[in-house]
Amino acid sequence: MADEPGNQTPNTPDVSETELRAMKVDELRKEAKDEGLSGTSGMRKGELVDAVAQAKQDHADGSHAESHAGASDDASDDVGAGPDGGRIRTGDQTSKSLKYAQEITSPEEDPEREGRSLATTHHEVIKQWAEARNARPATVEGTEHGDHLGVLRFDFNEDTDKLRHVSWDEWFRTFDQRQLNFVYQEQRKDGNQSNFFILESPNREDA
């Protein structure tokens, strides 16, 4: 069926999703912020369009307070900022890539531009980034140290038996114990979603 102009969502007559879908992701995130939405940094474009359209309709219906109540329920799964509040950790082995990366200390912060190198220790930022890519927290089999997790990774649904899935609590506990930084990209320079990330320790070579 050919796309029809205007709004395609039932019961949202005042919202033009065609206009929203024509926007870039960073423009949609700005719209989401203006509507008071949280947790938008991990959303894909389609999810952003739906969320913004619903928020705009909620405003039109005078049900903004109800929308915020739903948002607070979703926030119950928030894993928090972590012990450093999202701030990057520095040391005598801080890499140049970390020094030039944009520091992200909140899920509400966006990259300054597509392809920007980002860095954070914020737990919720990291979790949203991974979940937006259907990635699960994992460790590399055979690298464990007694009861301690080995090398930390994410499983992007790869066909490999080298990764063992772990809980977010385990993953973040190890991440903080090793004083790691999460260096990553949201998008490549061409605007497509990026899966690039590295875990860096500013205090030792072995992360």
Question: What pLDDT digit, counting tens, does each position of 186-199 carry?
Answer: 999 888 999 999 99
pLDDT for residue 112: 92
Q: Indicate whether 63 and 118 sit together in one domain.
A: no
List Cβ neighbours of 203 (8 Å cut-off, separation of 6 or more). Answer: 89, 91, 92, 93, 179
Q: Indicate whether 106 and 66 sit together in one domain.
A: no
Domain that holds residue 171: 96-200
8 is a domain residue: no
pTM over 0.75: no
pLDDT for residue 177: 93
120 is a domain residue: yes
88 is a domain residue: no
Q: Indicate whether 73 and 100 sit together in one domain.
A: no
Residue bearing tokens 């899966």: 195
Q: Indicate whether 110 and 27 sit together in one domain.
A: no
The radius of gyration of the chain from alpha carbons, rounded to an integer in Å, stands at 19
196 is a domain residue: yes
86 is a domain residue: no
84 is a domain residue: no
Round to whole Å and give the CA distance between 104 and 65. Answer: 29
Q: Indicate whether 192 and 103 sit together in one domain.
A: yes
Question: What mean pLDDT comes out for the span 118-138?
Answer: 95
pLDDT for residue 38: 60
Checking DSSP bridges between strand 163-165 and strand 136-140, what pairing results, if any?
A: antiparallel
pLDDT class for 17, splitting at 50, 70, 90? confident
Structural domains in the chain (count): 2
Contact 103, 182 (CB under 8 A): no
Order of strands across the sheet with 197-200? 102-103, 118-120, 181-184, 197-200
Q: Indicate whether 146 and 193 sit together in one domain.
A: yes
CA quadruple 70, 62, 28, 87: dihedral, nearest 10: -50
Round to whole Å and give the CA distance between 20 and 105. Answer: 27
Q: Indicate whether 113 and 194 sit together in one domain.
A: yes
Q: Indicate whether 126 and 159 sit together in one domain.
A: yes
